[in-house]
Amino acid sequence: MRRRRKVKYWIGQLHLWLGLVSGLVVLIVSLTGCLFVFQKEISEAMHKEWFFVEAARAGGTPSGKRGETLQLGVPGATLPLGVLKEKAAAVLGASCPVANIITWSQPDRTWEFMAYRENDSALTYFGAVEYFKSVYINPYTGAVTGVRDYKTDVFNIVKYLHWSLLLSTRYGQPVVGWSTLVFVILLVTGLVLWWPGKWTKALRDRSFKIKWKASFRRVNYDLHNVPGFYSLLPALLISLTGLVFAFRWAAGFFYFVAAGTTAAPRVVAARSDTAVVVSVPRVGGVGDPAGAGRVDPLERALQEARLRLPAASRYMVSPAVGREGVVYLYAYRGKETYYDYDVLQFDQYSGVLLDHRRDKDKNSGEKLVGMNYDIHVGAIAGLTGKIIAFIASLICASLPVTGFIIWWGKKYKKIDKMPNKERGPMV
């Protein structure tokens, strides 16, 4: 019995000092994670005019069935993607080229054109992000519905507080990562300390219930232990997925556990044909907006993806970089999740499909690592999962505070019991 108490004592000391060392970072990361969970819903409610167009103007679904063609001037038809990209580029300026485009199958959504550039050598977030802007465009009329500067956007600042404490990823991510690893140890040691020595009714009540009518110290103690226990599993899940973002070895470990191998998956790196004749016959009735008889490569790529993957809820298009670069198109099946997607590569000059990597062909390791973000924010389980993630993050934010109060109370409780002459001068 004495040996068991001794082991628990040292576990308690480990829990205490690791908590004091990492407490402030855990508080910041947990609180910002809690705030970020519903950023999409809040942003869309605050700036509805950015994200949505009137259903009457949308006119119908922008995607057609295989073999059908979307014609300009027909209700429900969107403007060619290349034309919309040029309109966004005019707003962003030549110094901020479009890097990603998000298009939707949902007919009442605007399309987002993003420009992003970072500086790896900077120390802080504001130096690391040179620019991060989005232009929202009505895909049927080409009208700009909103411009968003993510660099100063409150939710993006919250995100980077969570990600790297507003330092650049190079400097801030290791701090957050190691603090998260310490928090995982705290969760495990906390469970050991919480575990009742005997499962009597009194100990069960103390372990599973908060005694609200007790003294402040007792209520604070219960607030540290009881919610900490109930949030243990989601908190562990959030923390472990956070480690995957912070450390390559963590991502590699979970990849190996799921795939049974450390071998990297085979991924085709296609190249655009620089010798291709750009002036090819019109495909699908969507030609060059200048009327030169050429195909809009981005539009052709998007229509090909729609025909191949009509069930996708959104398509993210990344224009080619360099002379031999290809257009990458990611077709996501979920409206808010990122794990279930196909990757298509298209020739930047002709819009011809070069490679199609299906989600079902990925190995188990790729699928698990690909789910990491959706698990981390709870979106993988829909609204219920996000609510659980919100509550768990809020509890995690409270643990350093209640833990510190417990430590402070014990420290000064001992001082109160000391004779006056041993207390030293009061400050």
pLDDT at 167: 96
Flag whether pLDDT at 182 surpasses 50. Answer: yes
Query: Looking at the 3D structure of the chain, how many domains does it have?
Result: 2
Task: Say how far apart CA 275 and CA 297 lie, in whole Å.
Answer: 15
Instruction: Tell how far CA 326 is from the center of its chain.
Output: 25
Per the CB < 8 A criterion, the answer to whether 183 and 26 are in contact is: yes
Flag whether pLDDT at 203 surpasses 70. Answer: yes
pLDDT at 8: 87
Per the CB < 8 A criterion, the answer to whether 313 and 335 are in contact is: yes
Does one domain contain both 390 and 250?
A: yes
Does one domain contain both 78 and 224?
A: no
Whether 109 maps to a domain, the answer reads yes
Using pLDDT thresholds of 50, 70 and 90, give the confidence band for residue 333. very high
Does one domain contain both 62 and 135?
A: yes
Whether 118 maps to a domain, the answer reads yes
Task: Say how far apart CA 304 and CA 351 lie, in whole Å.
Answer: 9
Task: Say how far apart CA 29 and CA 128 lie, in whole Å.
Answer: 20
Per the CB < 8 A criterion, the answer to whether 238 and 33 are in contact is: yes
Flag whether pLDDT at 419 surpasses 80. Answer: no
Range(s) of the domain holding residue 13: 2-34+168-262+380-423
Helix (H, G, I), strand (E, B) or coil at 113: strand
Cα 142 to Cα 85, 90, 227, 356, 399, distances in angstroms: 10, 12, 51, 30, 50
Whether 214 maps to a domain, the answer reads yes
Flag whether pLDDT at 258 surpasses 60. Answer: yes
Does one domain contain both 131 and 207?
A: no
Does one domain contain both 42 and 158?
A: yes
Flag whether pLDDT at 151 surpasses 70. Answer: yes
Task: Say how far apart CA 295 and CA 285 lie, in whole Å.
Answer: 9
Which DSSP string corresponds to 231-268?
Answer: THHHHHHHHHHHHHHH-HHHHHHHHHHHHS--PPPP--
Task: Say how far apart CA 410 and CA 420 lie, in whole Å.
Answer: 18
Flag whether pLDDT at 285 surpasses 90. Answer: no
Strand partners, 353: 346
Whether 368 maps to a domain, the answer reads no
The number of C-alpha atoms within 13 Å of 331 and in the hemisphere containing its C-beta is 22
Strand order in the sheet with 326-332: 144-149, 129-137, 111-118, 100-104, 314-318, 326-332, 341-347, 353-357
Using pLDDT thresholds of 50, 70 and 90, give the confidence band for residue 76. low
Whether 413 maps to a domain, the answer reads yes
pLDDT average, residue stretch 412-417? 55
Flag whether pLDDT at 370 surpasses 70. Answer: yes
Task: Say how far apart CA 52 and CA 75 lie, in whole Å.
Answer: 17
pLDDT single digits (tens) 217-246: 999 999 999 999 999 999 999 999 999 999
Does one domain contain both 202 and 178?
A: yes
The number of C-alpha atoms within 13 Å of 216 and in the hemisphere containing its C-beta is 4
**Tokens 């509890």 appear where?**
395
The phi-psi region of residue 118 (left if phi > 0; otherwise alpha if psi is between -120 and 50; otherwise beta) is: beta
Whether 160 maps to a domain, the answer reads yes
Which secondary-structure segment (H or E) carries 344? strand 341-347
Q: Specify the higher pLDDT residue, 69 or 39.
A: 39
Task: Say how far apart CA 331 and CA 101 lie, in whole Å.
Answer: 12
Does one domain contain both 145 and 243?
A: no
Per the CB < 8 A criterion, the answer to whether 330 and 100 are in contact is: no
Last residue of a domain, one of 101, 134, 164: 164
Task: Say how far apart CA 316 and CA 357 lie, in whole Å.
Answer: 15
Does one domain contain both 24 and 43?
A: no
Helix (H, G, I), strand (E, B) or coil at 330: strand
Task: Say how far apart CA 259 and CA 131 lie, in whole Å.
Answer: 38
Does one domain contain both 27 and 43?
A: no
Flag whether pLDDT at 44 surpasses 60. Answer: yes
Per the CB < 8 A criterion, the answer to whether 335 and 314 are in contact is: yes
Flag whether pLDDT at 69 surpasses 50. Answer: no
Calculate helix-pair angle for 154-164, 2-36, nearest 10 degrees.
150
Last residue of a domain, one of 138, 164, 190: 164
Does one domain contain both 389 and 258?
A: yes
Does one domain contain both 10 and 85?
A: no
Last residue of a domain, one of 164, 199, 234: 164
Does one domain contain both 29 and 96?
A: no
Percent of the residues in the chain that have a pLDDT greater than 70, as a whole number:
85
Amino acid at 56: A
Whether 416 maps to a domain, the answer reads yes
Averaged confidence pLDDT in the chain: 87
Q: Which of 192, 240, 236, 194 is nearest to 392 (CA)?
A: 236
Per the CB < 8 A criterion, the answer to whether 317 and 329 are in contact is: yes
- For the whole model, what pTM was predicted? 0.85
Whether 90 maps to a domain, the answer reads yes
The phi-psi region of residue 143 (left if phi > 0; otherwise alpha if psi is between -120 and 50; otherwise beta) is: beta
Strand partners, 316: 102, 330
